[in-house]
């Protein structure tokens, strides 16, 4: 009897998730801009020189920051409980990237690098977060670091430290990797 109930619950959950995804995608009404691989690589090289790139597609699809802020406001990845070695920083980052790609058909990436104490710059540990590339209506592109565990978002400008909360997020040239979906 328990197996029948569990199967019914799994089927019901599957229907609800599938329907929810369709509703969210239709509510977004996105008009992404297609950007070719070489243009994305060039942009990332200027923003994060020396950081290894994993570019998986021939074209990427970008929207503006206002659209991103709306999508982030409806995201639920940050609500998931942190579980060491089960659902930690890499899982948050990949879950966010997957959900965005799945729901909205736009590009998002993960980034692996160092988390430093913002006051001492001592290494706290290696960490995963997301990077978001936007293209505004005037054609300018911007790079943002996004922490999927708490929905903090900061623009990468020049070589300044990217501080979110008590951490400095630092991709390390030649070691860190950004993977763009």
Kindly state whether residues 4 and 91 are assigned to the same domain: no
DSSP-assigned letters across all residues of 141-175: EEEEEEETTTTEEEE--TT--EEETTEEEEPPTTT
User: Could you give the count of Cα atoms lying within 13 Å of 137 in the half-sphere of its Cβ?
Assistant: 2
Residues 155/144, Cβ–Cβ less than 8 Å = yes
> Which of 111, 115, 113 has the alpha carbon at shortest distance from 124?
115
Kindly state whether residues 69 and 150 are assigned to the same domain: yes
Q: Mind listing the pLDDT tens digit for each residue in 71-84?
A: 999 999 999 999 99
- C-alpha 163 chain-centroid distance: 17
Q: Element (H or E) spanning 123, and its range?
A: strand 123-135
Average pLDDT, whole number, for the chain? 93
Question: Taking residues 86-97, what's their average pLDDT?
Answer: 96
Q: Element (H or E) spanning 5, and its range?
A: helix 2-28
Give residue 21's pLDDT band: very low, low, confident or very high (50, 70, 90). Answer: confident
pLDDT value at residue 79: 94
Question: Taking residues 47-59, what's their average pLDDT?
Answer: 93
Could you tell me the pTM of the whole model? 0.91
Query: Per-residue pLDDT for 15 more than 90?
Result: no
Query: Per-residue pLDDT for 55 more than 80?
Result: yes
Kindly state whether residues 99 and 154 are assigned to the same domain: yes
Kindly state whether residues 104 and 21 are assigned to the same domain: no
Question: Taking residues 4-13, what's their average pLDDT?
Answer: 86
Tokens of residue 64, six digits: 């503006």
Question: What's the DSSP call for residue 39?
Answer: H
Q: Which residues of 5-23 are buried (b: 16+ CB within 10 A; e: fewer)?
A: eeeeeeeeeeeeeeeeeee
Kindly state whether residues 17 and 70 are assigned to the same domain: no
Residue 52 phi, psi (nearest 5): -65, 140
- Per the structure, the complete domain to which residue 7 belongs is given by 1-30
Kindly state whether residues 107 and 148 are assigned to the same domain: yes
Higher pLDDT, 27 or 174: 174
Q: Mind listing the pLDDT tens digit for each residue in 25-49?
A: 888 888 999 999 999 999 999 999 9
pLDDT value at residue 28: 80
């Amino acid at each position: 009897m328990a197996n029948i109930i569990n199967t019914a619950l799994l089927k019901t959950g599957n229907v609800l998730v599938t329907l929810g995804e369709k509703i969210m995608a239709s509510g977004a009404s996105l008009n992404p801009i297609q950007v070719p691989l070489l243009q994305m690589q060039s942009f990332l090289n200027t923003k994060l020189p020396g950081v290894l790139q994993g570019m998986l597609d021939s074209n990427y699809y970008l929207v503006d920051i206002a659209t991103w802020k709306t999508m982030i406001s409806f995201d639920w990845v940050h609500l998931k409980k942190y579980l060491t070695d089960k659902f930690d920083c890499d899982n948050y980052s990949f879950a966010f990237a997957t959900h965005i790609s799945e729901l909205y058909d736009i590009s998002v990436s993960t980034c692996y690098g160092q988390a430093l104490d913002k006051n001492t710059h001592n290494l706290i540990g290696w960490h995963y977060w997301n990077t978001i590339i936007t293209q505004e209506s005037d054609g300018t592109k911007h790079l943002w670091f996004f922490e999927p565990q708490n929905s903090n978002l900061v623009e990468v400008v020049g070589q300044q430290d990217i501080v979110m909360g008590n951490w400095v997020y630092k991709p390390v040239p030649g070691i860190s990797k950004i993977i763009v979906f």
